[in-house]
């Protein structure tokens, strides 16, 4: 199981992917779900489960950012019952 530092690093990498590839989608795709591969390839859709399934097949587990376009991601993690704040 990944440690807190590696989870924070992944969260930061996901933020960077969203800023670069997801943010430009906000004008026309507000509220849709997006999966963004490490190379910038995107999958968009209305159904979160379907987008997630496609992303797992195409990119593999843990190798993509997953967000709702135009919405802020969760701002904290839990590690062994302790809440850890992630600064947006």
CA 86 centroid distance within chain: 14
Question: What local confidence, expressed as pLDDT, does residue 23 receive?
Answer: 95
Q: What stretch of H or E contains 29?
A: helix 26-29
Q: What is the mean pLDDT of residues 5-29?
A: 89
Question: What local confidence, expressed as pLDDT, does residue 9 receive?
Answer: 84
CA 49 centroid distance within chain: 14
pLDDT digits 0-9 by tens, 48-87: 999 999 999 999 998 999 999 998 765 555 555 555 555 5
Q: Is the pLDDT of residue 44 over 80?
A: yes
Helix (H, G, I), strand (E, B) or coil at 82: strand
Spatial distance between the Cα atoms of 79 and 37, rounded to a whole number of angstroms: 26
Q: pTM score, two decimals?
A: 0.79
Q: What is the mean pLDDT of residues 23-42?
A: 96
Helix (H, G, I), strand (E, B) or coil at 28: helix
Compute the CA torsion angle 72, 14, 63, 69 (nearest 10 deg).
30
Spatial distance between the Cα atoms of 71 and 59, rounded to a whole number of angstroms: 22
């Amino acid at each position: 199981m990944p440690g807190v530092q590696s989870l924070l690093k992944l969260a930061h990498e996901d933020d960077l992917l969203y800023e670069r590839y997801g943010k430009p989608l906000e004008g026309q795709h507000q509220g849709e779900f997006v999966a963004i591969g490490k190379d910038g390839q995107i999958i968009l859709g209305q159904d979160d489960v379907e987008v997630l399934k496609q992303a797992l097949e195409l990119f593999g587990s843990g190798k993509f950012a997953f967000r709702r376009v135009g919405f802020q991601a969760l701002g904290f993690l839990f590690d062994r019952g302790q809440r850890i704040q992630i600064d947006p």
